Structure 1
Amino acid sequence: MSQPSRTRPEGSAQALMTAYDTALLDLDGVVYAGGEAIGYAVGSLLAARSAGMRLAYVTNNALRPPDAVAEHISELGVATEAADVINSAQAVARLISEQLPAGSRVLVIGGEGLRVALRERGLEPVESAEDDPAAVVQGYGGPELPWGRFAEACYAIARGVPWFASNTDLTIPGARGIAPGNGAAVEVVRIATGAEPQVAGKPLPPMHRETILRTGAVRPLVVGDRLDTDIEGAFNGGVDSLLVLTGVTDAALLLAAPPEHRPTYVDADLRGMLTGQPEVTEASGGFRCGGWTASARGGELTLDGAGDGSPLDGLRALCAAAWTHAGDGVCGLDAGKALSRLGL
């Protein structure tokens, strides 16, 4: 059940790591970027787990199987089991298994994570359109995925077999910046075939269902860096979310977020799980958080005050002003001066 439109970030007197039983953490842009741990991530995860919060890693990246991802997180300093990792490969494999008989052949365009997930569901991965597949599944295959793999997908889809995609994220954050994601590769096949895939990953229901089935979370908190996958997925699932500003989303995108992309909480990084969250209150015709008061006037978002308020408090106040002004739409007011004051 979806949440109603949010007009401001919420506050929490209780630390998030004790207010929620399970953190459903995205990986790329949240825990690591380009394989290296993001600042404060390891310490924050260890502290949250010590406080009794279960850590589950929920990623749209279908490249690696859960045991490889768990090993990587463990090497970063947070001991992790394969059962703690839920990926879009598992979600799409379940979706396929519900539509095809056991033992069906599935043409894989992607990495080992897809093959492992398909076998787990009793399906047989194959590599060529000539292997008589009953379906095609496409997931992120890394930067070295050969162009010919897209051709194999097109040949099979042209014969009328159903096409599935683990996710449609257009980009993926890495150590050197933002790179093309699986969604960009899906567009290649879509343009060539005119077909439409069934998609399983965030923000769509199959991924949320897979996550809840595997974790048993009762009061989960989605933690992510993307509005269009992590936060929208939480919105669609009717659960709370924490946006961290360590990946794809910047302050300007956050202020322009439509209702389904507005997080419950906003923080700089995973340290936000370890603390409460400040309240945003109405004040002086605008919204106040910390030492800042934000309002929408004269065709722009304005910011007054400062005091001891942190830039994040100013951003939270600006979110309230922008989202309230936008209602169920998108705020188009100029926020450049206000964000410059915050250094964002």
Structure 2
Amino acid sequence: MSPPASGRLADAYDLVIFDLDGVIYLSDKAVAGAVGAVKRLHDEGRAIAYATNNASRRAAEVADLLTGLGVPATAGEVLTSAAAAAQRLADRLEPGARVLVVGADALRQEVAERGLTPVSSADDQPVAVVQGYGREVGWVILAEAALAVRAGALWIATNTDRTLPSPRGPLPGNGSLVAVLRTALDREPDEVIGKPEPVLFEEAVKRDAAARPIVVGDRLDTDIEGAVRAGLDSLLVLTGVSQPRDLVAAPAHQRPTYVATDLAGLFEDVETLAIGAEGTGWRVTDGKLDGHGDPVAALRTICAAAWDGTDVSALTGATDEAGAVLRTLGL
């Protein structure tokens, strides 16, 4: 999609698809400003969806968590990789088929509700293994999964996020656990369901019959790449995993349409949020950043230069203010 020329960002789209971890909350605590921003969208009657790779909660549990934080939400607005993976298995397998579940109880329940039989041992001869994040996942169940896959079971991963954001810093995510089996089996999963695959975004768009949706996320390699694959505009917020240095170095398939500090960006002017927008107050010339104003506006200018082929690896500040901005951004 081509970005609109002017107006509030939220006004330019008919559906806002939010990632959760690192965007709305970190673990079980709200990201600063997120509750007010999402509530404001609800109060304005705007369509909202939540698309999460985290397979440890069911849609109703996610909605309850959001409501407990003060965010108006219903289970119908939530799409999880656990539900999508279970549905994919149900579409591919015979009713009652045995599936070895690696992950939280939420994933096991999703599998059972679709008429499949969850098991926890390779001795049960499962025809598929589904792997999602679970805090209690350990060597025993991973060993059973390895045996089942080696015996010919289909292997589906809910996602391959290497880390999960938390108030204490990034923690191992499902991708790290998938890497254990990848190393042991010397092969990739047969299918990955969650972002950056476009499945969750496509389902959200279908549910709301949206003509112009936007994805809001904190990860370049899942949220933003998923949006690019789905042909959707995207807003990267700097409240979670991906940071300015990651953004500057992002390959074409992981570049967002817009960048903002946090969800307050949804109510800012489109023309100030887009990468490469004019009038940012900043410029990159001869290896130096010059200008004044908002550090994130400087980041957009730096990204535009880098993505256009300018070498910004040794960028310095032309003024004390510019130097301070570079330090603030970690560049």
Q: TM-score, normalized by length of structure 2?
A: 0.91
Task: Find the residue that maps to 2:270 and give its secondary structure.
Answer: coil
Matching residue of 1:96: 89
Task: Find the residue that maps to 2:50 and give its secondary structure.
Answer: strand
Tell me the C-alpha RMSD between the 2 structures.
2.3
What is the aligned counterpart of 1:82 among 69, 75, 81?
75
Task: Find the residue that maps to 1:177 and give its secondary structure.
Answer: coil
Matching residue of 1:130: 123
What is the aligned counterpart of 1:159 among 140, 147, 151?
151
Shift of the alpha carbon at 1:339?
A: 6.8
Shift of the alpha carbon at 1:315?
A: 1.1
Tell whether the 8 Å contact from 2:284 to 2:305 is kept in structure 1 after alignment: yes
Distance verdict in 2 for CA 1:277–1:213, change over 3 Å: closer
Q: Do residues 115 (structure 1) and 128 (structure 2) align? A: no
Shift of the alpha carbon at 1:305?
A: 1.4
Structure 1 residues 309-318 or 234-243, which shifts more?
309-318
Q: Do residues 28 (structure 1) and 14 (structure 2) align? A: no
Distance verdict in 2 for CA 1:273–1:287, change over 3 Å: closer
Tell whether the 8 Å contact from 1:65 to 1:112 is kept in structure 2 after alignment: no
Task: Find the residue that maps to 2:63 and give its secondary structure.
Answer: helix
Provide the C-alpha distance between the structure 2 equivalents of 1:176 and 1:280, rounded to a whole number of angstroms: 29
Segments of 5+ residues of structure 1 without an aligned counterpart are 5-9
Task: Find the residue that maps to 1:168 and give its secondary structure.
Answer: coil
Q: Do residues 150 (structure 1) and 130 (structure 2) align? A: no
Shift of the alpha carbon at 1:152?
A: 1.1
Distance verdict in 2 for CA 1:204–1:55, change over 3 Å: same
Distance verdict in 2 for CA 1:339–1:169, change over 3 Å: farther
1:163-174 equivalences under 5 Å are 163-174=155-166
Shift of the alpha carbon at 1:332?
A: 6.5
Q: Deviations over 1:248-278 (max 9, x none)?
A: 1111111111111110110000111122233
Task: Find the residue that maps to 2:271 and give its secondary structure.
Answer: coil
Q: Do residues 210 (structure 1) and 187 (structure 2) align? A: no
1:1-344 equivalences under 5 Å are 12-142=5-135, 144-197=136-189, 198-279=191-272, 288-295=278-285, 297=286, 300=287, 302-306=288-292, 309-325=293-309, 333-335=313-315, 337=317, 340-342=324-326, 343-344=328-329
How many residues are treated as equivalent by the alignment? 323
Provide the C-alpha distance between the structure 1 equivalents of 2:274 and 2:265, rounded to a whole number of angstroms: 20
Provide the C-alpha distance between the structure 2 equivalents of 1:190 and 1:200, rounded to a whole number of angstroms: 16
Tell whether the 8 Å contact from 2:33 to 2:264 is kept in structure 1 after alignment: yes
Tell whether the 8 Å contact from 2:265 to 2:273 is kept in structure 1 after alignment: no
Distance verdict in 2 for CA 1:240–1:174, change over 3 Å: same
Provide the C-alpha distance between the structure 2 equivalents of 1:163 and 1:50, rounded to a whole number of angstroms: 42
Task: Find the residue that maps to 2:165 and give its secondary structure.
Answer: strand
Shift of the alpha carbon at 1:244?
A: 0.1
Task: Give 1:270's aligned amino acid.
Answer: L
Q: Deviations over 1:288-343 (max 9, x none)?
A: 54221124x3xx4x21111xx211111111111111116xxxx6633465674342
Task: Find the residue that maps to 1:130 and give its secondary structure.
Answer: helix
The structure 1 segments of at least 4 consecutive aligned residues displaced by more than 6 Å after TM superposition are none
Provide the C-alpha distance between the structure 2 equivalents of 1:122 and 1:93, rounded to a whole number of angstroms: 10
Q: Deviations over 1:212-235 (max 9, x none)?
A: 344433321100000000000000
Tell whether the 8 Å contact from 2:127 to 2:152 is kept in structure 1 after alignment: no
Task: Find the residue that maps to 2:308 and give its secondary structure.
Answer: helix
Provide the C-alpha distance between the structure 2 equivalents of 1:237 and 1:133, rounded to a whole number of angstroms: 33
Q: TM-score, normalized by length of structure 1?
A: 0.87
Provide the C-alpha distance between the structure 2 equivalents of 1:163 and 1:169, rounded to a whole number of angstroms: 16
